[in-house]
Structure 1
């Protein structure tokens, strides 16, 4: 833990708290209709700014939130991943969203392993979930590769997202410890 929060490193990535310099790429991600079709829809810049501020706020008030994911080689922000649990959420989520130019590189899986490890150790969680749109095949594939399985589905999110039908994928700490061996 540094003065600004934890920094996690993987072979190709750095996971750290959000910084002002991340916003331009975040806004581009949120403006992309294809990239946002499963996470509530694309947002204009002002709304993206307000959503961007959720993560630093959650870090400050809860002591955890999604990490910004940065490529080591380029220093470029490529997405966000990590623990997320707003009031009324259906569980201890490890959520993720990546900029389209980072898709297909294995960044979600690589960074998820680090974020899940950190969450179990530092937050003391006994289980994790991933809230996924039923049509989001790529996210379901990541969840499956992490060892998560479909737990339940329906309209499970709190307002203002209560009309979204989602699938909740997840696993326990014990299951993760077994699945984690695949990534060593």
Structure 2
């Protein structure tokens, strides 16, 4: 089994970023069952069984790569509000910082807060590596706003899975 290359737990001002638990899939289903949440990523809503498998994929990514997305827990309420972290599926161009929030939590700065926490962690864990990207469908304006708000810069646009995706490069360790 691969060892973990990054911390299993992070905190930001309002969030706990932690490993996924079996019970988290139900909360993640609120994301995966919403067409606005899956429009630019999966292209369709998921059933409960598919949401469980997708959540298991997020958790299993840690075992395959030594890093992965965190479950995002809002500190005050303890609610699981989504996921954010390092992600590198086999067909992606590079390791990325991903985020996915339940719609009830949109527009409050949680995605940017989580992305900044992941940026800091990635800089510490991989100081000599090329900074990660965020790989975003060009029509996903909300995610593009998050990428720009955390200092990522548009680097390229490519065809991917039947759509046009933009590559936003996160700041290097020397940038901050």
- Scaled by the length of structure 1, the TM-score of the pair is 0.85
Q: Distance in 1 between matches of 2:29 and 2:91?
A: 26
The CA deviation at 1:117 is 1.1
Q: Which SS does the other structure have where 1:167 is aligned?
A: strand
Q: Which residue of 1 aligns with 2:10?
A: 8
Alignment of 1:31 with 2:30, yes or no, is: no
Q: Which has the higher contact order (CA 8 A, sep 6+)?
A: 2
Please say if residues 120 and 126 of structure 1, whose CA atoms lie closer than 8 Å, have aligned partners that are also in contact: no
Contact 1:126 1:172 in 2 (8 A): no
Match of 1:137 among 130, 134, 141: 141
Instruction: Report if the CA contact (8 A) 2:82-2:99 is conserved.
Output: yes
1:108 and 2:108 matched:
no
How many Å separate the matches in 2 of 1:44 and 1:146? Answer: 32
1:142 Cα deviation from its structure 2 partner = 0.7
Unaligned runs of 5+ in 1: 157-161
Q: Greater helix share, 1 or 2? A: 1
Unaligned runs of 5+ in 2: none
Structure 1 consecutive aligned stretches of length 4 or more whose deviation exceeds 6 Å = none
Q: Does 1:21 align with 2:26?
A: no
For 1:49 and 1:164, the matched residues in 2 are separated by 26
Q: How many correspondences in the alignment?
A: 169
Aligned partner of 1:57 in structure 2 is: 60
Q: Counterparts in 2 of 1:1-184, with a 5 A limit? A: 6-41=8-43, 42-124=45-127, 125-156=129-160, 162-174=161-173, 177-178=174-175, 180=176
Match of 1:159 in 2: none
Partner of 2:62, secondary structure, is helix
Residues 48-90 of structure 1: per-residue CA shift (max 9 Å, x gap):
2111111111112211111110001011000100100122321
> What is the aligned-residue RMSD (CA, Å)?
1.7
On the 8 A contact 1:66/1:83 being kept in 2, the answer is yes
Contact 2:137 2:165 in 1 (8 A): yes
TM-score normalised by the chain length of structure 2: 0.89
- How much has 1:172 moved relative to structure 2? 4.5
